[in-house]
Structure 1
Amino acid sequence: MSDVPVTEAYSFACMKCGHGWEQSYEIWHHTDAQGRPFVTYHVGGERVPSPLTRPTCLNCGEHVVRIMRSGQVRTAVTALEESRWRH
C-alpha cells in the first residue's frame, strides 16, 4: 500500500430519480504479487467499490448514474436556490 492516498471527489446524478450527491474518496495505489498496479477506494476509512465501475444511486438504488467533476451538484443546487430566492 502506498504511504499517502490521493484524494479525489466526484459529483453524481441519478438519471432515474434525479438525486444528486458528491463524494470524496481516498485512493490507495498498490502493486500485486506480479508487479501490476491497482488501486482501492476508501470512504471514512472503509474500502468501497470504485465509483467509476458501477455507481449506485444513494436514493433509489439504480445504476443509471452520471459521474461529473467535483462541484457540479453544489453549483446546480446553488443556482436553483438563487433562482427561487429572486422570484
Structure 2
Amino acid sequence: MSEITGHTGLRNGATAVVNESYSFACMRCGHGWEQSYEIEHHVDGAGHEFVLYVADGRVVPSPLSQPTCARCGGHVVRIMRPGRVSAARNAARRHETRPPVEVPSVPRQRHHWHLSDLLHPFQRRAS
C-alpha cells in the first residue's frame, strides 16, 4: 500500500514523499473508485511535522479522515487495499462475456392437496 520514494520529486520543502493507493466503495450507492496519493512529509517553522496529501497534482484532505463519494456525496465509505475495485470490475466483465448457461426445464408436477393429506399426521390409527 505504501512506497517511500525518498527525495525524488520533493516539492515545497518536503522531507519525504510516500506514495499510497486505496480502493473505495460507497456503502450508500455502491460506487467504487481507486485513487493514488503522494503523501508529503513537511516540518513547519516551529519544528512540528505535518503531512499533505496530493492527488492528481492538487492538495486534498486525507482520504482516511472523512472520505466522500463523488457520485452521491455519502460519507459511509469503505476503504480497502488498492486494486480491489479494478479486480471486481474485471471479474464482472469476465462474467458478462460468458455465454448464458441453458438449464434444461423440468416439467412441474402439480400436487392437489386434500384436507385428508393435511390431517393425516393428526389421525389416530385404529387399534
User: Number of aligned pairs?
Assistant: 87
Q: Does 1:31 align with 2:43?
A: yes
TM-score by length of 2: 0.63
For 1:40 and 1:25, how far apart are their aligned partners in 2? 10
TM-score normalised by the chain length of structure 1: 0.90
Which one of the candidate residues 59, 76, 89 is aligned to 1:64?
76
1:29/1:4 Cα in 2 relative to 1: closer, same or farther (>3 Å)? closer
* Structure 2: distance between partners of 1:62 and 1:53: 14
SS at match of 1:7: strand
The reply to whether residue 40 of structure 1 matches residue 40 of structure 2 is no
Distance 1:32 1:24 in 2: 25
Q: Is there any run of 5+ residues in structure 1 with no aligned partner, and where?
A: none
Match of 1:21 in 2: 33
Structure 2 unaligned segments of length 5 or more: list them: 1-12, 101-127
Q: Percent identity?
A: 56
Larger radius of gyration: 2
User: Per-residue CA shift, 1:8-31, capped at 9, x if unaligned?
Assistant: 110000000000000011110012
Displacement of 1:68 after TM fit? 0.3
Distance 2:56 2:87 in 1: 24
